Amino acid sequence: MAEFLTEFEFDLPKGYKDDSGVIHKHGVMRLATAADEIVPLRDPRVVANPGYLTIMLLSRVITKLGDIPVITTRVIEGLYSADLAYLQNMYQQINAMEEVKETCVCPECGKIFEKAINFTLAE
């Protein structure tokens, strides 16, 4: 039986630049819980702007980003748009009910096949 993964490592395309100018790229995202998806819906920032839900969700499920001690909504707000899009895509993929697959082409024979995408288990 395959191991049930709950945390996944990632490397941001651009990286988060903190107040000291340090770029943080490597991080860990965990699977979302029901509370992660429901609790932010009551937050006044989400009620006023539903688009803010993404910021709240990511601040709850990203458990590590470089040497930043706590991942807050302020940290997520400071991400470059390419990194935000990357994390949104990753969130959707790891929390999907079905296995995520990609279409591949064998470089030797040209055969097309599907391969499951496996994220790295966080240590």
Confidence at residue 103, expressed as pLDDT on a 0 to 100 scale: 78
Residue 100 has pLDDT above 50, yes or no: yes
Domain count, the chain: 1
Q: Is residue 121 part of a domain?
A: no
**Chain-centre distance of CA 24, in angstroms?**
14
Range 72-87 average pLDDT = 97
Q: Is residue 2 part of a domain?
A: no
Residue 123 has pLDDT above 60, yes or no: no
What's the helix, strand, coil split of the chain in %, to 5?
A: 35, 30, 35
Domain region containing 84: 7-116
3-state DSSP of 42-101: HCHHHHHCHHHHHHHHHHHHEEEECCCCCCCHHHHHCCCHHHHHHHHHHHHHHCCCCCCE
Q: Is residue 69 part of a domain?
A: yes
Q: Is residue 105 part of a domain?
A: yes
Confidence at residue 89, expressed as pLDDT on a 0 to 100 scale: 95
Q: Is residue 1 part of a domain?
A: no
Q: Is residue 75 part of a domain?
A: yes
pLDDT tens digits, residue range 10-24? 999 999 999 999 999
Q: Are strands 101-105 and 23-30 parallel, antiparallel or unpaired?
A: unpaired
Provide the pLDDT confidence category of residue 106 given band limits of 50, 70 and 90: confident
Q: Which amino acid belongs to residue 107?
A: P
Confidence at residue 121, expressed as pLDDT on a 0 to 100 scale: 47
